[in-house]
Amino acid sequence: MRRTVGLVVIAIWMASLPAAASQPGGSFIDDDGSVHESAIEAIRVEGITAGCDLVGDRFCPGMAVTRAELAAFVIRALSESPTPASVGSFADVPPDAWYAGFVERLVSLDLVRGYGDGTFRPDGAVTRGEMAVVLVRMLGESPSPGTGFVDVPSDAFYAGHVQRLAELGVTNGCATDPPRFCPSGAVTRAEMASFLARGLGLDLGSVTPRPSLEGVGLRRVLVASGLDQPLFVAAPAGDDRLFALERGGRVLILRDGEMSSIPFLDLGGLVSTGGEGGALGLAFHPDHAANGLLYVHYTDRDGANRVVEYGLTDDPDLADPDSARLLLTVSQPAANHNGGMIDFGPDGRLYVGIGDGGGAGDPFRHGQNPATRLGTITAVDVASGQAFLFAYGLRNPWRFAWDGLRIYIGDVGQSTREEIDVLSIFEAGSNLGWSVMEGSRCVTAGCSTAGLVLPVVEYTHAEGCSVTGGVVYRGSSVPALVGHYLYGDFCSGFVRTFRYTGEAADARDWQSLRTDGLVSFGTDGHGEVYLVSIHGTVWRIEPST
């Protein structure tokens, strides 16, 4: 049970206070080495934070704390419950906002107040001066007269609160010669963790080191063979079955090492396999267990991209072909660069990857045209069928995958570069550069990278020729691999990994996983990862040591 602030001796870290860097580890991958890491881990253990994304492995320590986040942090730290906010007190705090109940409770405790115009400004950054006010109120203390910092005006609303914190030994400010407090500086999430952890008297012991890939071996284990040009495998969350999609339009079930003799779904009469076409993508609705819905992305007899929804028959091992509902169709001017991947994002929308329409050098000029679906990743609301542009400037996004709030995109290059791009869900409308750029290389003379998102990883055609985008590992059989992104190359067959921390970290090349004709990575219902070869085989990745 969390201790209330009034029962502990307060000693709060600020960024300026000395502390030893923690050994990389704990629950979050983006705070390794931070002087605040043990405090961040401490407030996670206490249930004050679950991180900054849906997966829960990132804390975003350098981001400024918003007033909405402040409300949630403080209410959780005090073991208070959010107030039901059926009617909000502030015009800019919608009653159904995730933070509304926290804001209502914070204000009812008189720890934070709104502005004179009746707003709360939930997205506003919290300054160090404002934080001093909140802390003094949390402690049940009163502001003190005077100021010991040269940058804190004596008539500032926060001056007495800053002074009181100094008298309590809570802060030494942000500099000592002369003494300054930096009251206008934004409080980061890392600093917030230290305020709360020290304020609550939490255990700031050493952080448990994260499992290392050093000494870890991986191997391929054959789980299926004899398939007819398999292109993908997938499964509903928690399901023990694995579904294999063949290029010709069949979906087969693999259960307990045996492949079904009767297809789960057969679209052979609808699918064209000319050029780079075929049945290209498969995804299950996040609520598949309840609603039985699934989605297939294929090229039809006219060569157009189609995304179609299907339901189940009374037999959960048989989809109902008569239940087909067309969600999206995109005409193709050529037989290549169809894209094909589909995957549900954290917003519940189905994301669809579509190539630029084919031809060398983007002859139809689709790459830089956000008005077309070609050369894009498009988000589809499966309930309404409404489609939205998420990203453009793509050549052929053959495979991508969501992991929490981030999407990892493998975009197939033309003559020199292959690339992996990483975007957050908040970066809708991003331009990934094709056909101005191929990776980080200019295609057009005198090109500018202004406004473009450049790759996190790229490699030249000396190493491969066609990137196969993969997945972030979230299984349980290889703990050290959790949070690492796997990708490969169709031509050379390599399998590589990296951990995204704002850049590609801990890059590895796994010789033991090289797979000829590697067209896809897939996951089963428990997060384990599979390699799919166009030559008819499916392999599961397992630890070898």
pLDDT single digits (tens) 400-422: 999 988 999 999 999 999 999 99
- Report the amino acid identity of residue 121: R
Residues 80-93: tens digit of each pLDDT: 999 876 667 898 99
**Nearest CA among 244, 242, 250, 243 for reference residue 273:** 250
2 pLDDT band (50/70/90 cuts)?
Answer: very low
Residue 417 per-residue DSSP state:
E
Q: What is the pLDDT of residue 22?
A: 36
The answer, yes or no, to whether residue 499 has pLDDT greater than 60, is: yes
Q: What is the pLDDT of residue 3?
A: 34
Cα–Cα distance between 359 and 354 in angstroms, integer?
14
- Report the amino acid identity of residue 359: G
**Quick one: 369 exposed, middle or buried, by C-beta within 10 A (0-12, 13-18, 19+)?**
middle
- Angle among Cα 32, 479, 512 to the nearest 5 degrees reads 110
- The helix/strand count (H/E) of the chain reads as 7, 30
Least trusted range by pLDDT, from 47-61, 172-186, 278-292: 47-61
Rounded to the nearest integer, the mean pLDDT of the chain is: 91
The answer, yes or no, to whether residue 62 has pLDDT greater than 70, is: yes
Structure tokens at 482: 């959790």
The answer, yes or no, to whether residue 265 has pLDDT greater than 80, is: yes
φ/ψ (deg, to 5) at 129: -65, -45
Q: What is the pLDDT of residue 12?
A: 28
Q: What is the pLDDT of residue 13?
A: 26
Residue 246's alpha-carbon distances to 73, 400, 545, in angstroms, are: 49, 18, 33
Which residues are registered as beta bridge partners of 418? 459
CA 143 to chain centre: 42
**Cβ pair 1, 30 in contact under 8 A:** no
Residue 25's alpha-carbon distances to 32, 403, 497, in angstroms, are: 7, 20, 19
Structure tokens at 392: 């453009």
Residues 6+ apart with CB under 8 A from 210: 24, 25, 26, 29, 32, 480
Cα–Cα distance between 520 and 116 in angstroms, integer?
56
Residues 105-138: tens digit of each pLDDT: 999 999 988 898 999 999 999 999 998 899 889 8
Residues 179-226: tens digit of each pLDDT: 999 999 999 999 889 888 877 888 887 787 778 899 999 999 999 999
Residues 6+ apart with CB under 8 A from 277: 271, 298, 299, 303, 335, 338
167 pLDDT band (50/70/90 cuts)?
Answer: confident
**Cβ pair 496, 481 in contact under 8 A:** no
The answer, yes or no, to whether residue 7 has pLDDT greater than 50, is: no
The answer, yes or no, to whether residue 250 has pLDDT greater than 70, is: yes
Structure tokens at 143: 């502001």
Strand ranges for 399-463 from DSSP E = 399-403, 406-411, 417-424, 430-431, 437-438, 441-442, 457-460
Cα–Cα distance between 22 and 517 in angstroms, integer?
43
Q: Which helix (H) or strand (E) holds 70?
A: helix 67-77
How many residues would you count in the chain? 545
The answer, yes or no, to whether residue 262 has pLDDT greater than 70, is: yes
Task: Print the SS3 string covering 360-402.
Answer: CCCCCCCCCCCCCCCCEEEEECCCCCCEEEEEECCCCCCEEEE
The answer, yes or no, to whether residue 444 has pLDDT greater than 60, is: yes
20 pLDDT band (50/70/90 cuts)?
Answer: very low
The answer, yes or no, to whether residue 24 has pLDDT greater than 60, is: no
Q: What is the pLDDT of residue 85?
A: 62
Cα–Cα distance between 316 and 239 in angstroms, integer?
12
Q: What is the pLDDT of residue 11?
A: 30
Cα–Cα distance between 235 and 323 in angstroms, integer?
20
Percent of the chain with pLDDT over 90: 75
Residues 6+ apart with CB under 8 A from 170: 10, 11, 12, 135
**Nearest CA among 51, 49, 56, 24 for reference residue 38:** 24
| Parallel/antiparallel/unpaired status of strands 265-266 and 258-259 | unpaired
Q: What is the pLDDT of residue 168?
A: 78
Q: What is the pLDDT of residue 196?
A: 85
Which comes out higher in pLDDT, residue 294 or 146? 294
Q: What is the pLDDT of residue 16?
A: 29
What mean pLDDT is predicted for residues 33-61? 88
Cα–Cα distance between 232 and 74 in angstroms, integer?
46
**Nearest CA among 494, 471, 501, 362 for reference residue 24:** 501
Produce one character per residue of 124-153: b if its CB has 16 or more CB atoms within 10 Å, e if not: bbbbbbbbbbbbbbbbebebbeebebebbe
Q: What is the pLDDT of residue 206?
A: 74
Structure tokens at 134: 């909140």
What mean pLDDT is predicted for residues 353-358? 96
φ/ψ (deg, to 5) at 322: -80, -5
Structure tokens at 80: 């208070």
Cα–Cα distance between 281 and 139 in angstroms, integer?
56
Q: What is the pLDDT of residue 317?
A: 98
Which span out of 50-64, 82-96, 493-507 was modeled with the highest average pLDDT?
493-507
Q: What is the pLDDT of residue 18?
A: 30
To the question of pTM greater than 0.85 for the whole model, the response is: no
Cα–Cα distance between 464 and 471 in angstroms, integer?
19
Cα–Cα distance between 40 and 47 in angstroms, integer?
11
Residue with the two structure tokens 């179609």? 308
Strand ranges for 131-278 from DSSP E = 175-176, 179-180, 218-224, 230-234, 242-246, 250-255, 258-259, 265-266
Which comes out higher in pLDDT, residue 1 or 117? 117
